[in-house]
Structure 1
Amino acid sequence: MSVKSYPQLVAELAELDADIEAARRRERAAAMETIRELMTTFDIKANELRRDRRGPYRTRPVEMKYRDPVSGREWSGRGHKPAWFTGKDRSRFLIDGAADSLDAKKRA
């Protein structure tokens, strides 16, 4: 039984790490090629592969509810309040159609 010294084992480990990384890169490239071929064959889009427990990922445009009469900028009411909106009465900036939809939501 041959006992290897610490420097020999470290050198062997470095060589094995390099071999492992090279094998990983080769196999990953082959896997990516297979995945691309399958996605093309079955017309699979990248967003269909998402693991989402809440169901499919779909986005819709958000209706704008507020408009700055000076600059014409709009805000949907989501996210951070714009500077032109902060500290002012919301009803002054409501877009006509948005006021109707807000009233309907309050009644529901």
Structure 2
Amino acid sequence: MASYKQLTAQLEKLHKEVAAAREREVAQVIAEIRQKIAEYDLTAEELGFTSAAKPRRKAASASVARYRNPKTGETWSGRGRAPAWLAGKNRERFLIDA
């Protein structure tokens, strides 16, 4: 019966042989594929490597400012948390005329 060291040495040798065989075969397959692509004038789309344009989500549009701080010129769209300069005040006084 083989010892642990002998078996691990055999395993390492087999791993190296597997890697070398894979490299040879992959190189051969790539050469064959390139030859077929050139022979048939195939495109990446025809081979399925590019997908159809996916519908993109619309970017969030910039909100129009509805309120303005007369002292600083800072604006707020009315969305989200109200700014500190508007807290506890009548918002109608800060409305921007359209």
With normalisation by structure 1, the TM-score equals 0.50
- Relative to total residues, which structure has the larger helix share, 1 or 2? 1
Residue 11 of structure 2 corresponds to residue 35 of structure 1? no
Q: Deviations over 1:32-91 (max 9, x none)?
A: 00000000001111222227xxxx84449x9xxxxxxxxxxxxx972x426xx1x338xx
Specify whether residues 88 and 37 from structure 1 end up closer, same or farther in structure 2 by C-alpha distance, changes over 3 A only.
Answer: same
- Residue matched to 2:92: none
Structure 1: 5+ residue runs without aligned partners?
Answer: 63-75, 90-108
- Residue matched to 1:81: 60
Structure 2: 5+ residue runs without aligned partners?
Answer: 66-98
Specify whether residues 9 and 77 from structure 1 end up closer, same or farther in structure 2 by C-alpha distance, changes over 3 A only.
Answer: closer
Q: Which has the larger radius of gyration?
A: 2
CA distance in 2, matches of 1:32, 1:40: 12
Aligned residues: 65
With normalisation by structure 2, the TM-score equals 0.54
Q: CA RMSD in A?
A: 3.0
Specify whether residues 57 and 77 from structure 1 end up closer, same or farther in structure 2 by C-alpha distance, changes over 3 A only.
Answer: closer
